[in-house]
Chain A
Amino acid sequence: MSLRSYVITRLLLTIPMIMLLLTFVFLVIRVLPGDPASLHFEKQVDPQMLLEFKRQLGLDKPIEIQYVDYLVGLLRGDFGKSMQDFSPVSQQIFSAFPATLELAICSTIVMIVVGIVLGVQAARSYNSVQDHVIRVFGIAAYATPVFFLGEVMIMVFAIYLHLFPAGDRIYPGMTPTGLTLGGLHLSTGLYTIDSVLEGNLSKFIMSLRYLLLPSLTLGTVLCGIFIRLTRGNMLETLQSDFVTAARARGLKERTVVYGYALRNAFLPILTMMGLEFAALLAGAVLTETTFSWPGLGRYLVDRITFRDYTAIQGVVVFFGILVAMVSLVVDIIYAYLDPRIRF
């Protein structure tokens, strides 16, 4: 199969999956509880007011029409209206998204670096105490609720040691503004990049300081899988002929391990990254809440407190589409890099 036909097939497969997802979310939020509108109000509410409320949100129409409106709306990028103030949810989503993206990227970096380094060490000291400790660490890290680890981190590093801030994304008033050239304004929403674009070193360092604890927390909790993957691949590769031959030539162990053996482990790690993206988002929800990080996750949790079911629906749908897109891209990249998959 050529790359093109694989891409097409994969795209065609994504569509029903997304449809299923959208329908599922719709069923859960609009159908399951019966009436999300009345659920929103804790106490009894005047039926006239309730009807008006529903009308504003389009919740008064028959369920089939709601479904169609919902799907059509999504095609236009409309994720619904908030129950709190009828503002478009998409606005909130897109303003909160960059924060989550930045957290996700940094956590991924932590996840992979820690995972690879520890995995390599474990493989090199196979069956030793160090190996066992690392493996247990990987499992224990995964067994730790991410918010617990986050709180411990805050406790130790922010409160006792005063090394890092305990929450938020940046010091008020220090938001990086990105690049401004004449009339053109370029900003990504990622504070690290924006501060570089702005040319402001102190903002850059500050954004990193705020970013460090949350990404460290999220990255550590998820790194267990990478430790296991790297360890397994390395163990296999370290036994292979050309590694032994390289050692027989008296090459330094570090050259052998990183230059020769690690090259092999790379591709599977790449795919695993794509697969772990969903877990990353799930973890981000809790991490953002713990660190008051103003991203999508915290937005979702906020909306729960306010029983803002339409907003919850919008965010959940967004998550779903995001994950579907990312796994599509990862699959295509992998197919490009490894022709065997297509055949």
Chain B
Amino acid sequence: MNNERPRGRILAQFFPPLTGLARRGLAGWAILIGGAIVAVIAIMTTVSPWISPYDPIAINVGPLLSHPSSEFPLGTNHLGQDMLSRVYSGGAIMFQVAILSVIVCLAVGVPIGLFASYTGGYTDKVASLVMDSIYAFPGLVLAIAIAAMLGPGVVNMALSIAVVYVPSYFRIIRSQVLTIKELPYVEAAHMMGAKPRTTLFRYILPNVIPSIVAVATINFADAILTAAGLTFVGLGLPVSIPDWGWDLTYGRRLLPSGAWWVITFPGLMVVLLALGFTLIGEGLSELFNPRLQR
């Protein structure tokens, strides 16, 4: 036990499962830090109605386009809205869109992936072809096309993102299922008369779950970035909802006049949130498939 780091011992007092992670090297730290970032932002967004000094969509609460000051720590935008309040609450949309798209992907991608790759044959070939075609396509462009046709709104954005992302789930599930399918213990289950459904759910699915979780976290990160992107090109939400994406879009036009704070703070929040999820996803991937065996 001489190798235990001192930090690990402190954490051990409070969070037993976390010490396991901290001892897992860099990947563990990535998950911890990413998780912390996401948790802080999520909490901040949830309690924003109570901690926001002003109503984020109320206009003219202060002088238009004022610098960050003691009264308005993050300044105000061209509509006189308080940036701090908007930063607190702007993440809500991001979370909603991301969570919704992940749910859709899981609901659609996982069953198709499991079923198609397990069944094999034509079903598998056709499904793979469709999924590969979508996967190869530039994600944002496809999302733009779909969002343009569906119109603005949280659900529509989530759907566009989900369509673009389902192939990723499909591919990873397929590669896992194809490997596990051939393993002796699955064959053994077959020979003992297990029904395909049992094999699928009791043998294969549990082994696929870690990879699904890893993809889902990266999906979160991508969903946030794509949502911001969709808003940026004008396919996002009505202006009445506080949204970092909107601040980024409008903040852009305010830059030449020197009002850097409108775009910077929401932008940093988007980066942080995406970074948080990405760290978790990367850490999970590294834990489940360590790249460098030493």
Contacts and interface: CB of A to CB of B under 8 A. Distances in A.
Interface of A: 16-17, 20-21, 24-25, 28-29, 32-33, 36, 39, 132, 139-140, 142-145, 147-148, 151-152, 154-155, 159, 166, 232, 235-236, 278-279, 281-283, 285-286, 289-290, 300-301, 304-305, 309, 312-313, 316, 319-320, 323-324, 327
Given A17-B133, A159-B258, 14 more contacts: A20-B130, A32-B146, A32-B149, A36-B149, A139-B278, A139-B279, A140-B271, A148-B248, A151-B267, A154-B255, A155-B255, A278-B136, A278-B137, A281-B138
A147 B150 contact: no
Contacts of A16: 129
Contact of A300 (B144, B251, B267, B291): B144
B276 to A, nearest CB: 8
Interface stretch (B3-11, B47-55, B110-118, B228-236): B228-236
Contact of B278 (A142, A154, A155, A319): A142
B45 to A, nearest CB: 18
Contact of A148 (B137, B141, B221, B267): B267
A316 B234 contact: no
Nearest to B233: A301
21 contacts: A17-B133, A17-B136, A21-B137, A24-B133, A28-B145, A28-B146, A32-B150, A143-B221, A143-B275, A145-B229, A145-B232, A145-B267, A145-B274, A147-B232, A236-B292, A285-B138, A285-B144, A289-B232, A304-B235, A312-B145, A323-B137
Contacts of A139: 275, 278-279, 282
Given A17-B129, A29-B145, A32-B150, A286 B263 contact: no
A336 to B, nearest CB: 21
A281 to B, nearest CB: 4
- By CB atoms of chain A within 10 A, which of B137, B139, B255, B270 has the most? B137
A25 B278 contact: no
Given A20-B133, A145-B271, A155-B255, A235 B292 contact: yes
Nearest to A140: B275
A166 B256 CA distance: 10
Given A142-B278, A151-B255, A281-B141, A17 B132 contact: yes
Contacts of B140: 282-283, 285-286
Contacts of A319: 137-138, 141
Contacts of B255: 151, 154-155, 159
A16 B126 CA distance: 10
A219 B149 CA distance: 30
Interface string B1-40: 0000000000000000000000000100000000000000
A313 to B, nearest CB: 8
Contacts of A147: 228-229, 232, 248, 252
A33 B149 CA distance: 6
A301 B234 contact: yes
A203 to B, nearest CB: 26
Kindly name the residue among A148, A152, A286 whose own CB sees the greatest number of chain B CB atoms within 10 A: A148
Chain B interface bracket (under 10, 10 to 19, 20 to 34, 35 or more): 35 or more
B87 to A, nearest CB: 14
A324 B136 contact: yes
B150 A327 contact: no
Interface in B253-279: 255-256, 258, 260, 263-264, 267, 270-271, 274-275, 278-279
A140 B256 CA distance: 26
B134 interface: yes
B98 interface: no
A304 B233 contact: yes
A285 B235 CA distance: 14
A279 B229 CA distance: 13
Contacts of B130: 20
A237 B150 CA distance: 50
B142 interface: yes
Contact of B141 (A140, A151, A285): A285
A282 B133 CA distance: 16
B65 interface: no
A254 B151 CA distance: 55
A324 B138 CA distance: 11
Contacts of B134: 24
Contact of A278 (B138, B228, B271, B282): B138
A44 B157 CA distance: 26
Contacts of B278: 139, 142-143
A20 B126 CA distance: 11
A33 B134 CA distance: 20
A32 B235 CA distance: 16
B214 interface: no
Q: Which 10 A-B pairs have the closest CB atoms?
A: A282-B138, A282-B140, A143-B274, A143-B275, A148-B267, A281-B138, A20-B133, A278-B138, A33-B149, A17-B133
A33 B150 contact: yes
